[in-house]
Amino acid sequence: MGYAYKIEGGSKLSGIVEVGGAKNSALPILAATLLAKGRFDLENVPNLKDIHSMIELLAHFGLEIHWENPNHLVIINPGLTGIEAPYNLVKKMRASFLVMGPILASERHSRVSLPGGCAIGARPVDYHLKGFEKLGAKIVIEHGYVEAKADKLVGTKIILDFPSVGATENIMMASTLAEGTTILENAAREPEIEDLANFLNAMGAKIIGAGSSTIVIEGVDHLHGAKHRVINDRIQAGTFIIASILQGGSIIVKGAVREHIEKFYEVLEKMGVVFTEIDEELHIEADLKNLKPVNIKTMPHPGYPTDLQSQIMILMAMVNGESTVAETVFENRFMHVPELERLGAHIHIEGHTAFIKGGVEKFSATEVMASDLRAGASLVLAGIMAEGETLVRRIYHIDRGYDKFEEKLTKLGAKITRVRLEDEV
Ligand code: UD1
């Protein structure tokens, strides 16, 4: 028994939509509260499934957590009661692996279940582990668990093979309590990394350079409680910006931060979209019929984000001319393509590139299935632009990362309802 979205396409959307807090910032920040005893006040935390999974994991280690207000989370760390993150908690979400660095740093010993497979690629954790090893930890992988032990962690130079977001976060957290200075090179530069570093610094860490390719972490003896406001969700902002363009610009997006997705804005401007920011409100001018096709390539930040790849594909399918999407971050992130084809899009894939033949005036409603979180959101956008009734299955993916998605869309005028299905997972 599970849920699906039933969408009656064709409604005109308009109004203001507000962007919530970033899931991908909040998750590592929550994990970082394992580093020190004390009270943590976190604001702008989205209330969604992945956050609940992380809360459950923190509670497993003895942390006390409650919502003070709808988006204000209070976490009290009275000292960890264990060092092991079991499979049943880790398997729900890959980002659970982010507890490994903080526990290793605070307890000098941690044991975390391997996260397992994922629909959008193998997504191993080898870069994380290489980093811990460089800091002096001994790593043993057996029985599906990674165990890391160290008498002490010692700062050193670590060069990442690839600017992995998770590895940068995990290694940065582990280094905060190491002896001496860690220099992390080829680090990921995503805004979420900077947000985590700001939080760690508020806890007493000494980190400079986060947001650039070289991060310098001077180890400290201890960390303490802190207050922090999580940045807004740039992927959610991007999703609503696409929704607005599809509607000819009638949706105003509040709380989008251009610098966090500069490349995304540039691509849309190249297509012919005009953005005007008034205070915190983003006004969008776009005429679907006159937008130009475009070629994009997903890259680590500041490149075009892979998490906004499936959403722009909906736009590409409707704009006249041929567009392309080259996916370089994940090896298997075109699982939404067959679903889009079922809705009437013309796309073919060669290797890591999708060729999208545009010009669809209206998608043709049908039953489709979300394959991951962002793909799910793009199917909803297509459903809104379809003629007839679309059923989007497996929306547990969407629930993982979009706070009040149907509520926000309904407020804008979409006809979208959550339905319970006997045969849904
Ligand atoms: C994070 C985001 C996710 C986003 C992704 C890329 C969170 C919670 N999730 O995921 O939404 O799509 O960044 O922007 O912030 N890799 C390895 N070995 C490793 C680590 C990664 O080979 O040890 C590979 C992965 O398989 C993938 C690539 O590196 O192909 C990028 O992964 P990474 O940047 O680590 O993404 P996540 O942190 O998992």
Q: Give the model confidence (pLDDT) of 298-326 as tens digits.
A: 999 999 999 999 999 999 999 999 999 99
Q: What is the mean pLDDT of the chain?
A: 96
Q: What is the CA radius of gyration of the chain?
A: 22
pLDDT at 123: 67
Distance 191 CA to ligand 1 centre (A): 14
Does 119 have pLDDT greater than 70? Answer: no
pLDDT at 121: 53
Which secondary structure element, helix H or strand E, spans residue 388, and what is its range? none
pLDDT at 65: 98
Amino acid at 137: A
Distance 80 CA to ligand 1 centre (A): 27
Residue with tokens 């005893």: 37
Instruction: Write out residues with Cβ below 6 Å of ligand 1.
Output: 24, 27, 94-95, 121-128, 162, 164-167, 188, 192, 306-307, 329-330
Distance 307 CA to ligand 1 centre (A): 11
Tokens of 64: 């006390």
Q: To test ligand 1's pocket by mutation, which of 54, 162, 331 has the most ligand atoms within 8 angstroms of CB?
A: 162
Q: What is the mean pLDDT of residues 403-416?
A: 95
The Cα–Cα gap between 367 and 10 comes to: 16
Domains and CATH numbers, the chain: 2-18+293-421 (3.65.10.10), 23-229 (3.65.10.10)
Tokens of 309: 């790849």
The catalytic site residues sit at 118
CA dihedral 368, 371, 374, 375 (to 10 degrees): -40
Q: To test ligand 1's pocket by mutation, which of 27, 165, 195 has the most ligand atoms within 8 angstroms of CB?
A: 165
Walk across the sheet containing 64-69 and list its strands: 64-69, 72-77, 38-43, 226-229
Give percent of the chain above pLDDT 90: 93
For the entire predicted model, the pTM comes to 0.96
Does 278 have pLDDT greater than 80? Answer: yes
Q: Give the model confidence (pLDDT) of 32-91 as tens digits.
A: 999 999 999 999 999 999 999 999 999 999 999 999 999 999 999 999 999 999 999 998
CB-neighbour burial class of residue 361 (10 A; exposed 0-12, middle 13-18, buried 19+): exposed
Tokens of 179: 């002896």
Distance 300 CA to ligand 1 centre (A): 9
